[in-house]
Structure formats: C-alpha cells, structure tokens
Structure 1
C-alpha cells in the first residue's frame, strides 16, 4: 500500500516543546497543515543541522499555517537534554516528539528494521490528515527547509485551486498548469 494519500494513523506520545513536557496525539494534528520530520537519533551529526535549519525557518512555516513536529525514537527527556546542551537544538521552538515505542515511526513506515531508529523521512500532512508529500533520504544526506517550504506552498496552492497543478521548480506566484485534453502533447 502506498503512503501518499493515506491518512494519519492514531498515536499519543510525550513531547518536548518550549521548556515543557506535553502530550501530543494525532487529534492535535488534524485541522491544520503539519510536517513530520523523522531523524535517527538525538546527539548525532547531520540531524542537528537539519533541525536547526527547520528552527531558522519555523516562523515561515507558522506563517503558512504549518506545524512542525520532529520525531525520533528517543524519549522526550532526551530531547530536553539535547535542547539544553546543543546551541543548534537550543533554537528549536517547534514540538519534538519522543517515540520510544516506535508507534509513530512504524505508522509512517520509516523504522529501520532491527535497529530501533528512524530513517531520515519528511512527510507533509494536510488538514484532513492525508499525507500529501514524503521524502526519505539516506543517512548522510541532509534536508533543506527552503525546499520543503516550496513544496508546502505548492501543496497548499493545489488544495486551494482544484484543477490546477504546479510544474517542476514552481515558486509561489508563478504560472501553474490546468491539465486538459487541449494541453496533451503541448508541454
């Protein structure tokens, strides 16, 4: 079964957000756009650069009505310790989900079998809880928040404009396409 177009599965977990431990469930995600960013582990190397990049761009995600959730199989206690000791992670104000049971990581299909660690996966979920975008990269390949923002804007545009699609390298404000019989073979 493909994951694009599937619905967010139920979960409840503990998280770290802005100096507090909070409970987060799938019900907290529904009704708004959300990005889930899975990473292998706290106190690692590529992960803090990606999470810092998200933190540096979090205001723009918020402006677009998108909540960001980082997820690893570490606990919320580990997230707090990392937040308190790393200058990069200390910038984070979005929610850091702990997933020591692996429920969320398995729900998204990014659990490394036999390792208890998540692959480097990114998922965009629409307000109806439907997965609109996913990307999974190898261990050493870091992600780019600016490119993720571009894809979020494209997904939001397509949702708001039925019958239109965003071509390659589309940027906000550029022309879109309206697939039709008249367009076949003309691109």
Structure 2
C-alpha cells in the first residue's frame, strides 16, 4: 500500500460529477495539482448503506476543504454511469458536488494498494495529498466501518501548520514548541 512520502499515481481516469447530463467521457488527471491539496477518499461500492453517509459527510465539508486550498475527490470501483444513477436516485448524494472517480478497472485502487482481494472493491481509504502530489496522510478502514470526515479536515489543518501538533489538536490551538537543551 502506498503511504506517507509516496507520490500519488499520476493517472487520468474517468470521472462523473453532477446530475444534469449523462457521463460523456469526462476525465480527471490526478497528476495535476494546480497548487492545491487533494483529499482522495474511496468507498467500496455505490448503492450500499455506509458509503452514502460518508459521501454526504465529506460533501458537507467541501467548502471547508476548499477554504484550505484542498480539492475533494471521491472514488469507487464503479462506472461513471453507476455513479450518475446513484446520484440521481438520492437527493443528498446529488448535492455532493465534487468529482467521483469511476475506477471500474481498479487501476488506481490497485496502484494505491487498497483493493480487497476477495471482494475486488476498494477499502474505505482516505489520502491527504500535498500540492506536490506527495501523500501526507493515509487512513484505511475495512468494508463495514465508516470514517469521520471531520477528522480528515482536522488532520489537514494540522498538516498545513507545518508545526508539531499534539494529540487532539484543533485549528487555532497552540502547537508544540520544544525548547532546545
């Protein structure tokens, strides 16, 4: 599995966004940074039970991530058409207005090392990637346990301080400043 210090694979993959038109071959180039951080989070499968709670949770924080110069990108091993159908079927998912990578060939999930060998779907993995496309944080959950998007935001805040941040640190709190002996 790729981890902290590794480069995010610079792949161009199918992507789906919005509910106004059927997917028409749109792609996303993960090698492009535009000077922004990336929050890339995978869920196992569309039309499931835990996944929409995470997508809606991340979507509700999209503005907070954008305020921190971070682009929110969701992904699963489903196709762009399945993403579109799922978004159209659920008003809350329709409002989760960020790109959804359609990694149905599992090319990115395999490169990241997050593919469940038995189910051939991605684990619930979250990657915080800096503007140089270097992974700075990774969390991975099994297929049945959802994540806390607010914690991803907290970790992003800590990473962006470039300081020592103690346990449970939150934005606005003091960082650690060790005294040299």
TM-score, normalised by the number of residues in structure 1: 0.88
SS of aligned partner of 1:147 = helix
Structure 1 residue ranges without an equivalent (≥5): 159-163, 183-187
SS of aligned partner of 1:78 = helix
Alpha-carbon spacing, 1:55–1:7, altered in 2? closer, same or farther (3 Å): same
Q: By how many angstroms is 1:88 displaced?
A: 2.6
Alpha-carbon spacing, 1:2–1:54, altered in 2? closer, same or farther (3 Å): closer
Q: By how many angstroms is 1:62 displaced?
A: 1.0
Structure 2 residue ranges without an equivalent (≥5): none
Alpha-carbon spacing, 1:89–1:170, altered in 2? closer, same or farther (3 Å): same
Query: Could you say which residue in structure 1 is the equivalent of 2:174?
Result: 175
Deviations 1:133-181 (A, max 9, x none): 01011222111111111111111111xxxxx311111111111113464
Query: Could you say which residue in structure 1 is the equivalent of 2:45?
Result: 41
Query: Could you say which residue in structure 2 is the equivalent of 1:18?
Result: 18
Query: Could you say which residue in structure 2 is the equivalent of 1:128?
Result: 132
SS of aligned partner of 2:155 = helix
Q: Which has the higher helix share?
A: 1
Cα separation, 1, equivalents of 2:141 and 2:166: 23
What are the within-5 Å matches in structure 2 for residues 24-173 of structure 1? 24-29=28-33, 31-158=35-162, 164-173=163-172
Deviations 1:105-137 (A, max 9, x none): 112110111432000100100000000001011
SS of aligned partner of 1:71 = strand
Q: Is contact 1:30–1:128 with CA below 8 Å preserved after alignment?
A: no
Query: 1:4 and 2:8 equivalent?
Result: no
Q: Is contact 1:123–1:134 with CA below 8 Å preserved after alignment?
A: yes
Deviations 1:33-55 (A, max 9, x none): 00110110000000000000111
Query: Could you say which residue in structure 2 is the equivalent of 1:185?
Result: none
Aligned residue pairs: how many? 177
TM-score, normalised by the number of residues in structure 2: 0.91
